[in-house]
């Protein structure tokens, strides 16, 4: 869908004055998706390079998503005091710093060093998500916010598709030793093998840091027109005022469980594929993940279009139920059918984050900045649910651990039912974009 297709009526989804800034901010959605989805590659890679169990490797996600609890409020404060543009610049520079730290971390092959670098990357991304999502939501008519942010988030899906391809090509070496082969290596050969696998991440992350610095320069020279409530709202909204809105409360619940499910599904997708189809090489499994994330990107564009005709809240509930069914199939079957069912969940996850975000903010008015920070904080579930799945998979099987995201999707569906019962929310009673 071309950008111009969103700019047609008197009540434009993207007002013309904001178009340049909108395009640049939309590119950030692509950039932070790269880091999020490279983590799924790192979980598998660090099991080899650093001799980790799945449970230990899950601390990649713990370190990354813990930053959302740590940095969301500071990011919201920075967005309010510094404005969207400067907050975005802070995020880009932190992201670049963390990516650059992968080079020395790999040189010493130290897991704690990697976790610190991931925490810094994620802190930068929190600034980008809080400011970027807030700016996209507030640059036009609130009635079209769900369509606008779903369109921008489509490029997050593109980044998600590209990341496993890059990881499969440049991080996975293609060398896969069986446990027996590992045991047969001499201590010196084993140490060299693990050191080489650790070094596989150096150039990809150093290149990423360089690209981020170029993007920061583009942001610095681009004019950002003031956006709605962004930058300097007059009041001092209280937590009680924010949580007085049922739609916001249930958006918090839905986002917590959705993000945990998304991160969990993708984190162990390669391990799941290797378990149910043991002859599949790692690189092929990474390409399967990439194909799944391609469907995620396509789903964002299709979902944006469907919201012209179907209320966002209704579409969200339907997609959550479909994912309950698909994960159920992945649990009950085996082989390529299970891989296909699990991969298909990405299409139906596509609209969930931005739609929950927009529905949570739609009633907040000048409390949107605080609400945005609190919704972003729920992403800490990415530090909780993947470790639960990791340790379950160590104790039982990877396949059985996917019972956790099945429950999570059920909670998203329940949230759509309970969150819409508030004085005629547009997402419940009809299309949220009727003015568009």
Confidence band (pLDDT; 50, 70, 90) for 379?
confident
Q: Which residue has the higher pLDDT, 191 or 19?
A: 191
Q: Taking the domains of the chain in order of start, what are their residue ranges? A: 16-229+240-429
Model confidence over 241-258: pLDDT tens digits?
Answer: 677 778 888 999 999 999
Q: What is the pLDDT of residue 5?
A: 43
For the chain, the farthest-separated pair of C-alpha atoms sits apart, in whole angstroms, at 72
Confidence band (pLDDT; 50, 70, 90) for 331?
very high
Q: Which residue has the higher pLDDT, 318 or 73?
A: 318
Q: What is the pLDDT of residue 327?
A: 98
Model confidence over 390-429: pLDDT tens digits?
Answer: 999 999 999 999 999 999 999 999 999 887 654 444 444 3
Q: What is the pLDDT of residue 238?
A: 60
Q: Which residue has the higher pLDDT, 204 or 226?
A: 204
Given a cut of 60, is residue 373 above it in pLDDT?
A: yes
DSSP state of 363: T
Given a cut of 90, is residue 14 above it in pLDDT?
A: no
Helix (H, G, I), strand (E, B) or coil at 206: helix
Work out the average pLDDT over 87-99: 96
Q: What share of the chain is helix, strand, coil (3-state, %, to 5)?
A: 80, 0, 20
Residue 354 near residue 372 (C-beta atoms within 8 A): no
- Name the pTM for this structure: 0.75
Given a cut of 70, is residue 228 above it in pLDDT?
A: no
Model confidence over 33-43: pLDDT tens digits?
Answer: 999 989 989 99
Lowest mean pLDDT among 117-121, 208-212, 234-238: 234-238
Determine the Cα–Cα distance for residues 54 and 386; give it in Å rounded to an integer: 10
- Fold classification of 16-229+240-429 (topology level): Growth Hormone; Chain: A; (1.20.1250)
State how far Cα 396 lies from the chain centre.
Answer: 27
Helix (H, G, I), strand (E, B) or coil at 311: coil
pLDDT > 90: percent of the chain: 49
Q: What is the pLDDT of residue 431?
A: 37
Q: What is the pLDDT of residue 423?
A: 41
Q: Which residue has the higher pLDDT, 344 or 176?
A: 344
- Mean pLDDT over the full length of the chain: 85
Given a cut of 50, is residue 436 above it in pLDDT?
A: no
Given a cut of 90, is residue 357 above it in pLDDT?
A: no
Work out the average pLDDT over 320-331: 98
| 331 Cβ contact list (under 8 Å, min separation 6) | 338, 399, 400, 402, 403, 406
Residue 348 CB: number of other CB atoms within 10 A?
24
Given a cut of 50, is residue 1 above it in pLDDT?
A: no
Q: What is the pLDDT of residue 237?
A: 56
Confidence band (pLDDT; 50, 70, 90) for 10?
very low
Nearest to 390 by CA among 377, 405, 376, 379: 405
Nearest to 408 by CA among 288, 254, 284: 254
Given a cut of 50, is residue 7 above it in pLDDT?
A: no
Q: What is the pLDDT of residue 6?
A: 47
Confidence band (pLDDT; 50, 70, 90) for 13?
low
């Amino acid at each position: 869908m071309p950008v111009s297709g969103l700019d047609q009526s008197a009540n434009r989804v993207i007002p013309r004055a904001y178009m340049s800034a909108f395009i640049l901010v939309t590119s950030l959605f692509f950039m932070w998706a790269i880091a999020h989805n490279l983590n799924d590659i790192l979980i598998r890679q660090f099991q080899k390079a650093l001799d980790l169990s799945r449970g230990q490797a899950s601390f990649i996600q713990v370190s990354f998503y813990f930053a959302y609890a740590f940095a969301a409020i500071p990011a919201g404060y920075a967005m309010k005091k510094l404005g969207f543009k400067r907050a975005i610049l802070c995020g880009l520079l932190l992201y670049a710093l963390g990516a650059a730290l992968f080079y020395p971390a790999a040189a010493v092959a130290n897991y704690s060093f990697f976790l610190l670098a991931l925490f810094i990357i994620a802190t930068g991304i929190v600034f980008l998500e809080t400011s970027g999502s807030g700016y996209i939501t507030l640059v036009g008519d609130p009635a079209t916010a769900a369509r606008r942010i779903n369109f921008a988030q489509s490029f997050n899906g593109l980044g998600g598709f590209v990341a496993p391809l890059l990881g499969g090509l440049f991080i996975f070496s293609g060398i896969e030793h069986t446990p027996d082969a590992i045991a047969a290596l001499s201590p010196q050969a084993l140490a060299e093998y693990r050191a080489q696998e650790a070094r596989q991440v150096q150039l990809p992350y150093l290149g990423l840091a360089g690209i981020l610095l170029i993007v920061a320069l583009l942001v610095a020279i681009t004019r950002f027109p003031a956006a709605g409530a962004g930058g300097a709202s007059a009041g001092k909204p209280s937590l009680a005022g924010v949580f007085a809105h049922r739609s916001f409360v249930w958006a918090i619940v839905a986002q917590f469980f959705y993000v945990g499910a998304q991160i969990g599904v993708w984190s162990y997708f390669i391990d799941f594929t290797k378990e149910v189809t043991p002859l599949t090489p790692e690189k092929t499994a990474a390409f399967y993940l990439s194909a799944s994330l391609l469907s995620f990107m396509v789903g964002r564009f299709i979902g944006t279009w469907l919201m012209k005709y179907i209320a966002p809240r209704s579409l969200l509930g339907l997609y959550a139920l479909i994912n309950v069914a698909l994960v159920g199939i992945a649990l009950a079957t085996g082989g390529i059918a299970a891989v296909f069912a699990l991969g298909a969940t990405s299409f139906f996850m596509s609209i969930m984050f931005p739609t929950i975000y927009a529905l949570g903010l739609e009633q907040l008015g000048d409390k949107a900045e605080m609400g945005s920070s609190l919704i972003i904080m729920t992403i800490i579930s990415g530090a909780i649910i993947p470790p639960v799945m990791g340790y379950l998979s160590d104790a039982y099987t990877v396949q059985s651990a996917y019972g956790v995201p099945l429950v999570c999707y059920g909670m998203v569906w329940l949230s759509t039912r309970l969150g819409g019962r508030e004085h005629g929310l547009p997402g419940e009673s009809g299309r949220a974009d009727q003015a568009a």
